[in-house]
Structure 1
């Protein structure tokens, strides 16, 4: 029986470990053309447009074998789409949109594309979606006369391929090397993932997975996009970080008591500690706050005029870029959020003021009747990115959410307070995380730090929402504030706000008492250095 259980557990572990993640390449086949552009799927075969030989090529997706080949009706073949019976094809040179009989290659209909620079196309069951890559626009056009019905900006500046999955559009961009999930109703970018190659071109949707042709690699990739494993990470760095808290008493009185609290970083998706955190000097004790955050507690007494203390911790870690791909329809309802999460992360606080009528009314205005936690958080995120601008040091320090929202400017901390206040007012649990950040080079000093929020989305758990980073020029840049953490942070703090040690802060907290007048100076900073061999530039 024990042997059977061992093999059962081993099998379960193996199955889990082999489960493909979102973005994983499931299959690779060589491109039969030297200049792959458009891509489509007809229910059994892939069709690839090749702008080198002016061909439209039918490919077996299981083997990569060429099944058939058609002459392109023009001389600069680009996008392809399948409507259930016919191939639709756009030619960038002729600027014409063709409906083609796939059996004979005969053009049954030719329409003006009404786009000066057409590239990818997609079929949504009724209309055709088209990319104009120089105007960075996405157009919905009529298959009857080619006239535009709807348009919105493309996610980024170099759009190439486009396809439709039955509800949403997928759009590839060769400039950012990303593939974006887009709501066709309004052009809102919902999420994005890295393209499998350096020059994504055509896209096709096929039975629950995405196919992507890549011009530079001259390959066609089948990509997993609907897996329950939504987290991917890449761009590993190995770094050493020392965090230092300095406290000086310039007197003339005596600081009779000083308590310093330093949150202790732990391994999480974006960081893997390579050794235990080292403290200098040793902490008086390790404690936990009401959120479960571990802190090093330092206690100092009778610091005379001229005294200085500088407790610190050091850690070596692998730091990654992390991405969580969110497909909105897979997010569960508010009722699926665990009771203990709701109990801990829906509470009010001095910086949130959830009960303020201004917060209550604004939250209802933003969310309307929406009940899905993703869409509630997303609407709050969009509101903040449209109504707040960044200001590192506003008048009055870190202000509470109602003040920030009325003023219209915010630091990263205040973006966090407003996101928490509005989402919690709508029943969505949110917390903040605080981090020490690389500043440019891997050897750098950070005395500014950064924090952002995480939203609990069932069934996945905590997902980053950094509204501070949503103030971007392109729709695709804006969505990178959701589900993404760059490889420049070591997160020290996970907090709901308002505890007795950090209050509504992060990275550190402190309190002090004195006899007589004392002029105090305090400073906090992180000192970064890369691990591994030293980098010396030598001529070849």
Structure 2
């Protein structure tokens, strides 16, 4: 009997140990935003969430109660009556819990040990929701103003404020460096710079109604109102990027050159950029060319191209070549923590040599570019924040207009508008002049439906950040007043692109174009017409 009990005890101990190891292993492998633990909330209407150094506190809108729970399994270890009949956000200041009263728009401070209310503030914003404590000040989110305010806990004076990342901020948490914001409409959780309000990163919330947030010193916690659950979220994964929503697509890229005469096109060279495996795309096989190329080449930037050579094309000749690519493409998001970005001196010498050089579209020594560097960068030394300041400068000084032609970076800045390529040239020029290596990526884009045609294409920049590598930055797509939309164009690619081209400037084969280019020589009068089309179809869904 005693032996049986001992065996049962050892068996249970082994099972518990396996569970602990399993969760620890899962946490070690977790990417940013992954759920590493979850348990039911103590009530059915969880709102605010906070950490007091030992326990999580959850406010419940239905029971008007503040619950202290064990973060390992959600066990309720204490509970006190909320100081309001509509408790929302929570924040712990080291001794007391601050609680939002959603009905009267007040902030109450209550001591958990005694349940005594020691302070009351009128909210400086309408419709307050989330709260956070940064060691000195309170942060409060407003869903009506769509703003986040840092306030003095003594009298409610606003110290700092900025727009919320999205439309409906709910939960707030401060991790000692950054502010975390949960939004119930976008269903995302944002990492925000507490000084200027820039969104640094974002990921999908674990459930449909993200409310309270709390930081326990290592992990981020989220209370979800719809699922009535508390989630532990990983925010320190080693993966530089995560991929989701992969889809398999086929794109046929056609480059056509017509000679309407009456003269002869004596020679024609067509170059088609060949895509390769990248974080956002994996080729399902080798590209198929029609007809077979004359040969394959590589330009000064390492870009591979298929080369076609034609001779003696009389009037009426149509030279048509194509490349068909099958690939799986993903929505890909990089997670960059500015404090983990290395210094400019950490950038490899070969990267600096190749991607800091001048070129005719950049004109790095031009007074307009030099002025832009001074105004944009100032005394900032962190490469990430240099990039963000340059990004802000570009979108503040250019608006999107595709009027044809690609002018130099100084001309575009002086004119004040440009296409995606011109935005990219300006961004690259200022980055390089500021000592930050930059290049461009060119793509064929899905336009709306997965079965679609692209004859416009799209280009953006890539910037080199030490410890992270090359990061996409799309200034034209991010030209928006919304902090979320701006951040969505930095370190993020949707699953709508096949990148064919990456280059640092003028190419001996592609020139300043991307996807493809042609060079021809004619005898006599000739009217030459070119056409470039990308035809998309989902694989298996034709």
| CA distance in structure 2 between the aligned counterparts of 1:97 and 1:58, rounded to whole angstroms | 19
**Counterpart residue number, 2:434:** 426
Which of 165, 182, 185 is the equivalent residue of 1:175? 185
1:314 pairs with 2:324? yes
The answer to which of 261-270 and 172-181 deviates more is 172-181
Aligned pairs for 1:26-175 within 5 A: 26-175=36-185
Aligned pairs for 1:472-491 within 5 A: 472-491=480-499
Q: How much has 1:89 moved relative to structure 2?
A: 0.9
Aligned pairs for 1:292-331 within 5 A: 292-331=302-341
1:525 pairs with 2:533? yes
Asked whether the equivalents of residues 97 and 146 of structure 1 are also in contact (C-alpha less than 8 Å), the reply is no
| CA distance in structure 2 between the aligned counterparts of 1:80 and 1:427, rounded to whole angstroms | 44
1:451 pairs with 2:426? no
RMSD, aligned α-carbons? 1.6
Which of 324, 327, 339 is the equivalent residue of 2:349? 339
Q: Any stretches of 5+ residues in structure 2 without a counterpart?
A: 1-24
Deviations 1:331-354 (A, max 9, x none): 100011111111111111111111
1:506 pairs with 2:524? no
Asked whether the equivalents of residues 182 and 190 of structure 1 are also in contact (C-alpha less than 8 Å), the reply is yes
Q: How much has 1:169 moved relative to structure 2?
A: 1.1
Asked whether the equivalents of residues 31 and 234 of structure 2 are also in contact (C-alpha less than 8 Å), the reply is yes
Q: How much has 1:197 moved relative to structure 2?
A: 2.0
Asked whether the equivalents of residues 83 and 110 of structure 2 are also in contact (C-alpha less than 8 Å), the reply is no
**Counterpart residue number, 1:376:** 386
| CA distance in structure 2 between the aligned counterparts of 1:164 and 1:122, rounded to whole angstroms | 6
Q: How much has 1:121 moved relative to structure 2?
A: 0.5
Judging changes above 3 Å, is the alpha-carbon distance between structure 1 residues 76 and 317 closer, same or farther for their aligned structure 2 residues? Answer: same
Asked whether the equivalents of residues 125 and 145 of structure 2 are also in contact (C-alpha less than 8 Å), the reply is no
Judging changes above 3 Å, is the alpha-carbon distance between structure 1 residues 157 and 17 closer, same or farther for their aligned structure 2 residues? Answer: closer
**Counterpart residue number, 1:223:** 233
| CA distance in structure 1 between the aligned counterparts of 2:26 and 2:51, rounded to whole angstroms | 30
**Counterpart residue number, 1:437:** 445
Which of 236, 246, 252 is the equivalent residue of 2:262? 252
**Counterpart residue number, 1:410:** 418
Deviations 1:208-227 (A, max 9, x none): 22111122222222212233
Which of 157, 165, 188 is the equivalent residue of 2:198? 188
| CA distance in structure 2 between the aligned counterparts of 1:151 and 1:342, rounded to whole angstroms | 38
Q: How much has 1:283 moved relative to structure 2?
A: 0.9
Q: How much has 1:114 moved relative to structure 2?
A: 3.2
Structure 1 residue matching 2:385: 3-state secondary structure: helix
Asked whether the equivalents of residues 165 and 205 of structure 1 are also in contact (C-alpha less than 8 Å), the reply is yes
Q: How much has 1:533 moved relative to structure 2?
A: 4.2
| CA distance in structure 1 between the aligned counterparts of 2:341 and 2:118, rounded to whole angstroms | 43
**Counterpart residue number, 1:515:** 523
The answer to which of 352-361 and 242-251 deviates more is 352-361
TM-score, with structure 1 as normaliser: 0.93
| CA distance in structure 2 between the aligned counterparts of 1:16 and 1:108, rounded to whole angstroms | 42
| CA distance in structure 1 between the aligned counterparts of 2:508 and 2:440, rounded to whole angstroms | 16
Which of 210, 229, 247 is the equivalent residue of 1:237? 247
The answer to which of 318-327 and 101-110 deviates more is 101-110
| CA distance in structure 1 between the aligned counterparts of 2:29 and 2:307, rounded to whole angstroms | 42
Structure 1 residue matching 2:112: 3-state secondary structure: coil
Structure 1 residue matching 2:212: 3-state secondary structure: strand
| CA distance in structure 1 between the aligned counterparts of 2:298 and 2:530, rounded to whole angstroms | 24
Structure 1 residue matching 2:410: 3-state secondary structure: helix
Asked whether the equivalents of residues 75 and 94 of structure 1 are also in contact (C-alpha less than 8 Å), the reply is no
| CA distance in structure 2 between the aligned counterparts of 1:533 and 1:151, rounded to whole angstroms | 49
| CA distance in structure 2 between the aligned counterparts of 1:382 and 1:197, rounded to whole angstroms | 32
Structure 2 residue matching 1:427: 3-state secondary structure: coil
Deviations 1:346-365 (A, max 9, x none): 11111111122221232122
Asked whether the equivalents of residues 336 and 468 of structure 2 are also in contact (C-alpha less than 8 Å), the reply is no
Structure 1 residue matching 2:467: 3-state secondary structure: coil
1:204 pairs with 2:214? yes
Which of 397, 401, 419 is the equivalent residue of 1:391? 401
The answer to which of 447-456 and 132-141 deviates more is 132-141
| CA distance in structure 2 between the aligned counterparts of 1:148 and 1:335, rounded to whole angstroms | 39
| CA distance in structure 2 between the aligned counterparts of 1:231 and 1:373, rounded to whole angstroms | 19
Asked whether the equivalents of residues 432 and 494 of structure 1 are also in contact (C-alpha less than 8 Å), the reply is yes
Structure 1 residue matching 2:131: 3-state secondary structure: strand
1:471 pairs with 2:479? yes
Which of 344, 351, 354 is the equivalent residue of 2:361? 351
Q: Any stretches of 5+ residues in structure 1 without a counterpart?
A: 1-14, 535-540
Q: How much has 1:427 moved relative to structure 2?
A: 0.8
1:283 pairs with 2:296? no
Structure 2 residue matching 1:63: 3-state secondary structure: coil
**Counterpart residue number, 2:35:** 25
**Counterpart residue number, 2:21:** none
Tell me how many residue pairs correspond in the alignment. Answer: 518
Asked whether the equivalents of residues 212 and 220 of structure 1 are also in contact (C-alpha less than 8 Å), the reply is yes
The answer to which of 362-371 and 521-530 deviates more is 362-371
Structure 2 residue matching 1:469: 3-state secondary structure: coil
Structure 2 residue matching 1:320: 3-state secondary structure: strand
Judging changes above 3 Å, is the alpha-carbon distance between structure 1 residues 95 and 351 closer, same or farther for their aligned structure 2 residues? Answer: same
TM-score, with structure 2 as normaliser: 0.93
Q: How much has 1:228 moved relative to structure 2?
A: 3.1
Q: How much has 1:188 moved relative to structure 2?
A: 2.4
Deviations 1:393-449 (A, max 9, x none): 25xx10000000000001000011001100001110001000101111111000000
